[in-house]
Amino acid sequence: MLDRIAQLRQILDGSRYTVALCGSGMLEEGGLEGLKKQDRAYYIEEKYGCAVEEMYTSAFYNTRPEQFFDFYKNEILGRIPRETATAGALADIERAGKLQCIIDTNVYEQMERGGCTNVINLHGSIYQNQCPRCKRMYPMSYIVESKRVPLCETCNVPIRPLVSLTGEMVDSRNMTRTTQEIAQADVLLLLGTTLGSEVFKQYVKYFSGRYLVVIHKEGHYTDRGADLVILDYPMNVLPLLHYEEKTGETGE
């Protein structure tokens, strides 16, 4: 492990532009089982009488808003993953000038909560909620504290969480920024995900840089396409790079 940590440090130190992709494994290291995991999906269907694939959709939000928000408030807003050492370590690497962009497919702003600044939340954020009619923004607390369906105080229509629901197109601006960032990357870090990710594989094809690094708890046959693979949670790996010490030494 230490040899691979040293190799990763060398790769990052020599990079002119590094981009990190954060996948669903980041939720798991924060203590949250993904919606698609078999046990959780079964539990949700037993509890609500509908499958996740049916409820976490714009059609369900539009036609059955009360049931949608019952599910959304309990299963999405009520189960926010804890902050782990990954976000803080990435913030240290960012401050050291060795990480230029983070692309996160999760909706919990784990990276921002840990101090990272240049983050693209590819699938939106639970902290952003908007009236679809007047475009007024509402905080997450307004959604949580609403007794039933959270309604716009001006328009009296259901507020729309600005997250990409199942089957929806990702915001085109986020897609464009993501492809642009990956295209100019010298080093691409895949954290809590693999090269076989359904979400990321369409973006990784834009990478033409020097080093592709995978840090994920579980191995995958697509790992052979990476230059460096470390099989562990990112929270157990990234702090070992000790970029905070370098920052302190240089007075940054």
Fold of 1-30+83-123+171-252: Rossmann fold (3.40.50)
Q: Which two tokens stand for residue 240?
A: 């070992």
First CA to last CA across the chain, in angstroms?
Answer: 29
Name the pairing type of β-strands 137-138 and 160-163: unpaired
CA distance 213 to 227: 6
Beta bridge partners of 102: 20, 119
CA distance 160 to 98: 36
Secondary structure letter of residue 142 according to DSSP: H
**What's the pLDDT score for residue 206?**
96
**What's the pLDDT score for residue 248?**
44
CA distance 195 to 237: 19
Q: Which regions of the chain are under pLDDT 50? A: 246-252
CA distance 174 to 117: 16
Length of the chain: 252
CB atoms within 10 A of CB 214: 24
Whole-prediction pTM value? Answer: 0.90
Which residue do the tokens 């040293």 mark? Answer: 6
CA distance 194 to 91: 22
List % helix, strand, coil for the chain (3-state, nearest 5).
45, 15, 40
- Name residues whose C-beta falls within 8 Å of residue 156's C-beta, 6 or more positions apart in sequence: none
What is the SS3 assignment for 115? Answer: coil
Q: Give domain limits for the chain.
A: 1-30+83-123+171-252
- Name residues whose C-beta falls within 8 Å of residue 121's C-beta, 6 or more positions apart in sequence: 104, 106, 107, 109, 174
Which residue do the tokens 């050492």 mark? Answer: 85
**What's the pLDDT score for residue 131?**
98
Calculate the alpha carbon distances from 206 to 5, 80, 134, 189 in Å.
26, 31, 37, 14
